[in-house]
Amino acid sequence: MSGFDKSRRIVVKIGTSTLTHEEGHLNLRRIEALVKTLSDFKNAGHQVILVSSGAVSAGVAKLNTRRPINVAEKQAMAAIGQSELMKLYSRLFSDYGHTVAQILLTKDVIDNPTRRTAAENTFSTLLGLGCIPIVNENDSVSTEGLNFGGNDTLSAYVALVCHADLLINLSDIDGLYDKDPRKFPDAKRIDRVDGIDDNVLAMAGGAGTARGTGGMATKLLAAKIVLEAGIPMYILNGQDPTVLYEILDGKHVGTYFAPRS
């Protein structure tokens, strides 16, 4: 991909381990940098949809309690944390003159044609109004079978529903490596992937961090979903969210997943 000279519709996904500190409190410096960068993308004429995790962690941090153990506790923490997250996003984005809108999804919305069309219409209306939709799974009412298996997968479906031009997954790792870089210091980052086959799947290491739920396997699944729909995807290290500018400038960072042309 050679930079963004035209206005594009971009879905950016950011995970819990990138949004929060070790103890689970929100990483304000990082979130501020993310909001500023995405606001600048908007100012440059792009449409931005943010898929943000962090609800459960923000709820735990707000109550200053231990990590939730059972599903009901996690759902309660998500209900508390989601409004904390939105309060922060709303304030920071409005500092840069932008309006956010919360959309909480469950998998049954995507699977049901009528409800999916309703979601499509809402996204398209919000984007037409110049808003920044901020999406999370509706954790508080998700049950087994209704969930996406994490926001990596959710972000892929959001890209489909929004007819996005690009999905960017901001992770705590620089991209896809030929083997797990946490275990093998000689692991090499892959610049570009053309299609998700067994060789690519074999490069995915184990699960992610204690706070996040994803890992490389769910990111590759997300890539498979969007590539089949002709949408490219990047995995980038979100430690410094201004890395997004590099994509805007057509530089080579992270791992680029190319759809079949």
Q: Closest separation between CB of residue 196 and ligand GLU, Å?
A: 19
List phi, psi (to 5°) of 101: -140, 135
Q: Closest separation between CB of residue 38 and ligand GLU, Å?
A: 18
**Residue partners of 127: CB distance under 8 A and separation at least 6:** 9, 47, 49, 133, 162
**Residue partners of 61: CB distance under 8 A and separation at least 6:** 20, 23, 24, 25, 26, 81
Q: Residue type at 86?
A: M
Written as one string, the DSSP assignment of 9-58 is EEEEEE-HHHHB-TTS-B-HHHHHHHHHHHHHHHHTT-EEEEEE--HHHH
For ligand GLU, the closer of residues 54 and 175 by Cβ is 54
Q: Closest separation between CB of residue 208 and ligand GLU, Å?
A: 8
What SS3 state is found at 131? Answer: coil
For ligand GLU, the closer of residues 47 and 53 by Cβ is 53
Q: Closest separation between CB of residue 138 and ligand GLU, Å?
A: 9
For ligand GLU, the closer of residues 46 and 78 by Cβ is 78
User: DSSP code of 180?
Assistant: -
Do 1 and 11 touch, CB atoms closer than 8 A? no
Q: Closest separation between CB of residue 52 and ligand GLU, Å?
A: 7
Query: Residues in the site for ligand GLU, rule: CB under 6 A?
Result: 15-16, 53-57, 78, 136-137, 139, 150-151, 212-214
CA 231/CA 133 separation, integer angstroms: 19
Tokens of 243: 């890395």
For ligand GLU, the closer of residues 59 and 232 by Cβ is 59
Plot region of 97 (φ>0 → left; ψ -120 to 50 → alpha; else → beta): left
Q: Closest separation between CB of residue 162 and ligand GLU, Å?
A: 18
Q: Closest separation between CB of residue 68 and ligand GLU, Å?
A: 10
Burial class (CB in 10 A: 0-12, 13-18, 19+), 195: middle
